[in-house]
Amino acid sequence: HWGRSYNDAIGIDVFLSQESIHKKIGREVIKKFCSYIAKSNRTRKIVADPKKENIASLKAFSYAGFRIVQNNQSNIIFEVLMQ
């Protein structure tokens, strides 16, 4: 459903309890995950596809350095390229 090839990428989904939202936990989890992947040399590309209505998730991925590469009907596709 992404319309792009992500065969060489690792995907990330983050699920937080309602009590954890808006406490910057999501962005820290995302950053730590990306750091781990970068150190493991598994891939240079990490992708995520949060729902458009999930504003907290959209902000967390943006703050963690992800950029929007596709905006479709129900999701926004983010990716980050690791150094």
pLDDT single digits (tens) 8-40:
788 888 988 888 888 989 999 999 999 998 888
Task: Order the strands of the 45-48 sheet from edge to edge.
Answer: 9-11, 45-48, 76-81, 67-71
For residue 1, pLDDT over 60 is answered with no
Higher-pLDDT residue of 20, 83: 20
Name every residue whose Cβ is closer than 8 Å to that of residue 72 and which is 6 or more positions away in sequence.
1, 3
Is-above-0.85 flag for pTM? Answer: no
| Tokens coding 64 | 């963690």
pLDDT of res. 83: 67
Find out whether 56 and 26 touch, Cβ atoms under 8 Å.
Answer: yes
Contact 78, 8 (CB under 8 A): no
Compute, in degrees rounded to 10, the torsion defined by CA atoms 26, 36, 50, 81: 130
